[in-house]
Structure 1
Amino acid sequence: MTKLETLLSQYAAYHLDHKNILTHFVGIPLIVFSIICLTARAGVMISGLEITLALVIMALSILYYLSLDRIFGFIMLLVFALMYPLAHSIAQWGWVAWLSASIGIFVVGWVFQFMGHFYEKKKPAFMDDVIGLAIGPLFVLAEMVFMLGFRKDMEHRMLQEAHQQRALMDAKAAHSVSAS
């Protein structure tokens, strides 16, 4: 398995219920967008070009995603490029409107996330491994690519490993309950 497949498998072990995956299709993009909105306000001008914290975060994320997979990294670059102008526009609103909208979007995104985990009956992946916060957007992208019929071999390997990891998680949870 590639590093990407390993990371997606670890994340997928917490996301095997289709209702949970569907809520993540809404929740994760909202959370990512809200973070871009929040960080697009902080910036500096360098040679007439505004470099915002959002651009730095997106660039670092893209470099990480590209290191895992060039195709997914490039698609995430396009997604960020489409999100940024609207987020930057929101960041130009008055302080109260910008902060209210950004935090509101963030909260709504997390409501969707936790609704999904209610269906899954599992805590979010990032509670066991903080890298889940970075992998979540890539997981949603991968699921979309898989739904469109692409990279099915990767999906198969990822799901096979995710089911094995989930079985281990469930066995460990059952053992700790019986030991109590």
Structure 2
Amino acid sequence: MKTLIEHLSHYAAYHRDRRNIVTHFVGIPMIVLAVTTLLARPAMPLADGGAYLTPAMVAYALSCLFYLRLSFGFGLAMVAILAIFLWAGAWIASMSTTVWLAAGIGLFVVGWIIQFVGHYYEGRKPAFVDDLVGLLVGPLFLVAETAFAMGLARETHDAMVAHAH
């Protein structure tokens, strides 16, 4: 399995144009919220019905294991961020079926449109076309880029840049 540096370097190679990166800071969260929302149903009650399990919870638990395996620090950030998305997706899914579907599908479609606009600026296809794991790396890339912009994780940044060249 690839390392954190390998994943980030590969993803960064598809995202060099600042306009593309900016669109990803809008489009990726929309897509993550859309997927969380759409997978928030059905909610299967557990034991006495005081707790429940959704497909979104299972998907995000597996995703968080992937992130934690790559980097404990970035993994913890992803766990916290995805917990917020799980809460928001569950909240939207608690609304009427029409609102749930309209919000989920609408966020998904608009999010991908924004992504493809960014890749138009980039002049290169999205990373997931060559490697489906790019769908998981995208949100992690945003967390890493935020950390780098804040002056954090300098060693990771430098290793990623060195590996990309």
CA RMSD of aligned residues (A): 1.1
Distance 1:82 1:76 in 2: 10
Paired residue type of 1:116: G
Distance 1:147 1:62 in 2: 23
Distance 1:27 1:160 in 2: 27
Instruction: Please say if 1:151 is aligned against 2:153.
Output: yes
1:43: how far off?
2.6
Where does the alignment leave 5 or more consecutive residues of structure 1 unmatched? 165-180
Distance 1:81 1:8 in 2: 22
Kindly indicate whether the alpha-carbon contact (under 8 Å) linking 2:33 and 2:88 is maintained by their aligned counterparts in 1. Answer: no
**Number of residue-to-residue matches in the alignment:** 162
Identity, in percent, stands at 46
Task: Specify the SS of the correspondent of 1:50.
Answer: strand
Q: Once structures 1 and 2 are overlaid, which stretch shifts more, 64-73 or 40-49? A: 40-49
The residue that corresponds to 2:9 in the other structure is 9
Paired residue type of 1:112: I
The residue that corresponds to 1:44 in the other structure is 44
Answer with 1 or 2: which has the greater Rg. 1
Output the TM-score relative to the length of structure 1: 0.87
Kindly indicate whether the alpha-carbon contact (under 8 Å) linking 2:39 and 2:54 is maintained by their aligned counterparts in 1. Answer: yes
Paired residue type of 1:94: S
Output the TM-score relative to the length of structure 2: 0.94
Distance 1:149 1:30 in 2: 26
Paired residue type of 1:25: F
Distance 2:75 2:33 in 1: 17
The list of structure 1 runs, each at least 4 consecutive aligned residues, that deviate by more than 6 angstroms after superposition, is none
Kindly indicate whether the alpha-carbon contact (under 8 Å) linking 2:7 and 2:137 is maintained by their aligned counterparts in 1. Answer: yes
1:90: how far off?
0.7
